[in-house]
Structure formats: C-alpha cells, structure tokens
A and B are shown apart, each in its own frame.
Chain A
Amino acid sequence: MAAPAQLGLQNAASPIMEELIAFHDHALMIIFLISSLVLYIISLMLTTKLTHTSTMNAQEIEMIWTILPAMILIMIALPSLRILYMTDEFNKPYLTLKAIGHQWYWSYEYSDYEDLAFDSYIMPTYFLEPGEFRLLEVDNRTTLPMEADIRVLISSQDVLHSWAVPSLGVKTDAIPGRLNQAMVASMRPGLYYGQCSEICGSNHSFMPIVLEFIYFQDFEVWASYLYIV
C-alpha cells in the first residue's frame, strides 16, 4: 500500500509492474531533462543584453531541433509499445477469479471447481485493530496463490466501477453486462491494497480491494475451508 505522502509508484509485486516502473522512470527522466533544458534556455534568453535583428535562415539548428526530438520520441515509443503488448499477453492461467462490483462492495467468485463466492465490504474505522489501515481494510480478503498466473474477470452488477491494485499494475473497468479480463501474478506473498477507481456513487471511496497472496499449499487449505463455510 502507499506510505503517507507518497509521491511515486508503489513497490512492484509482479514482473509487469516492475517493467511499468522502469518505463515510468525512463520517460520521467527524459521529461525532466527536456524541461530543465528549456527552463535554462528561457533564463538565458531573458537575461542577455545581446540582440540579433537579422535572422534570415537557421538551417543547422532547425535540423537539430527536428531530428533530435524525433529520436527522443522513438526512444519513448519503443519501450512503451513493448510494455503495452506485454500487459496483453495471456499466459496459461492456473485459476480464474471473478471480481464483481456492486454499490458499494466487491464480491469474488472462484468457480473452477465448486461455486465459492463471498462479499468483501470495507472494514469500518470503528472496527479496525491497531496497525490496520483506515479505509483500506476489508472484512473478507481475496486470497490467492503466489507465483501463479491468475485470470481475473471483472464485471459489475449495477454501475461502472474499476478494479485497481497498484502494486500489481492492474486497473480494469467493471462494466455491467461485460466481462473484462486481466492477468495478475505476484512474485511474493503479502497483502496488496487497491481502491475502486471509477465514480460509482456516494461510497465510491469506501469499497477497497485487498489481495492476500499466500503459498500454494496454504491456498488449497483456505479454499477447502471456504467450501465448508
């Protein structure tokens, strides 16, 4: 989850998110360099007493400031497209999870074997234990196995919502009548938090998502308990 007053992206829990962070750093560095250069040139322009009133042509500099930006844009576009296609890759999933948005909670279904389903409401602030996070905790966490490719199918029962988990680089709209597919995989066990990302009414800010990634063997135990319940 995000630390207080955090500016940057959250730590990556999946390989895709690592690539996204790397691309973000690359693009941001280019932006900082260009902005600094432009600001510097502006300051030079504003503080000189020299004048030049007879510019007729400037062939060389025109060439430079056309070719160089084109090259910079290509250097941004190539990694961008590479990541775009990487996020669309479909690996053989181990498990299918359905995340259905409601006003104002998420419900999760694991239907590969039995119909396991539960609702996930926000934990009201009054009921938080010490150390838990306000407006981020839920009563039933979505438990998943780590190091497994998981297909998440996202939909909605009423209005538009959006299922987002920043650590995993996922944000997919929940549209009524439509099933949107996203792939999720975590490299390590842990708790990953997200929040609804499409305005959906008065409690839009109060329908968080908590994914709990655990070891395979523990996941099978958890799934069998869910069935009994």
Chain B
Amino acid sequence: MAEEMKAKLKNYKTAPFDSRFPNQNQTRNCWQNYLDFHRCEKALSAKGDDVSVCQWYRRVYKSLCPISWVTDWDEQWADGTFPGRSELAAPPSPASSVLLPRW
C-alpha cells in the first residue's frame, strides 16, 4: 500500500476529481483533505506506522486550499485552537456537521 501511495505521489499532477464533492462549491473538499491529513498523521503515528502515506492528503489540500487559509489553520493547529478539533476526535461520518471553516 505504501508503494502504491509513493507511485501515486510521484505521478501527482493536481487534485483529482472527488465524487464526494461533485459541484461548484469545493470549500468542503479543501477542508476535508486538511482534516484527513491530520487525522491520518494522528492515527498512523499513534500506531507507529509510516506517516509518509498521509502526504497524499497534504498534496491535495495544498492544491486546493488558498495559502492564507492553510497558514491560518496551521497556526491554529500549533496553538491548539483549530476549530476542526472535534471533527478530528470523532471517526469520519458521511452525515458530518455542516459547520464550515471561517464562518
């Protein structure tokens, strides 16, 4: 799995189509990948696994999210005030809350 991920990362061009977000509003796509990156790092480092597979989410959110959003969220993450903390604690659910960032 890690080898497939490395190959995917090597051939990365840009964030691919995500069928969970098929419409014009891609805000949630950016937000979800940012959360998934941190969730992946948290889960894998807790198990002691290789964290580099989480780089996929990082590439995707870097492609999609404006740099200023990422900078703000990284600062909040470092301060421990990141608003998505509660979503990170719970397992991912398709009917997750509609709370959007920055609103």
State the A residues within 8 Å of B (CB).
Answer: 88, 90, 92-96, 98, 100, 109, 111-112, 115, 117, 151, 153, 155, 157, 172, 176-182
Interface size on B, residues (CB 8 A): 25
Q: A96-B15, A111-B62 are in contact. Are A177 and B27 (CB under 8 A)?
A: yes
Q: Are A115 and B67 in contact (CB under 8 A)?
A: yes
Residues of B within 8 A of A111 (CB): 62-63, 65, 67
Q: Is there an interface contact between A98 and B17, defined as CB atoms closer than 8 Å?
A: no
Residue B100 lies at the interface, judged by CB distance under 8 Å to chain A:
yes
Q: For the complex, what is the distance from the CA of A96 to the CA of B67, rounded to whole Å? A: 13
Assess whether A94 is in contact with B14, with CB atoms less than 8 Å apart: yes
Q: Which of A96, A117, A177, A178 contacts B64 (CB 8 A)?
A: A96
A179 with B30, Cβ < 8 A, contacts A96-B64, A111-B63 known: yes
- Quick one: which of A157, A181, A182 contacts B68, CB cutoff 8 A? A157
Q: B25-63 vs A: 1/0 string, CB under 8 Å?
A: 111011000000000000000000000000000010011
B16 to A109, Cβ gap below 8 A?
no
- Report if B20 contacts A (CB, 8 A): no
Choose from B66, B101, B103 the contact partner of A109 (Cβ within 8 Å): B66
With A95-B13, A96-B15, A155-B66 given, is the CB distance from A177 to B26 under 8 Å? no
Chain A residues within an 8 Å CB radius of B103: 177
- Residue B22 interfacial (CB < 8 Å): yes
Instruction: Give the residue name and chain of the B residue nearest to A149 (CB).
Output: B14
CB atoms of B66 and A100 under 8 A apart: yes
Asked if A93 and B14 make an inter-chain contact with CB atoms under 8 angstroms apart, the answer reads yes
Residues in chain A near residue B15, CB distance under 8 A: 93, 96, 151
5 interchain residue pairs of minimum CB distance: A177-B102, A179-B26, A96-B14, A179-B27, A96-B63
A180→B26 contact, CB < 8 A:
yes
Contact, CB under 8 Å: B25 / A178: yes
> Nearest Cβ distance between residue B42 and chain A, in whole angstroms?
23
Chain B residues within 8 Å of A153, by CB: 26, 64, 66
B16: chain A residues at CB < 8 Å are: 92
Distance of A124 from chain B, by nearest CB (Å): 26
When chains A and B are docked, how far (Å) is the Cα of A98 from the Cα of B82?
23
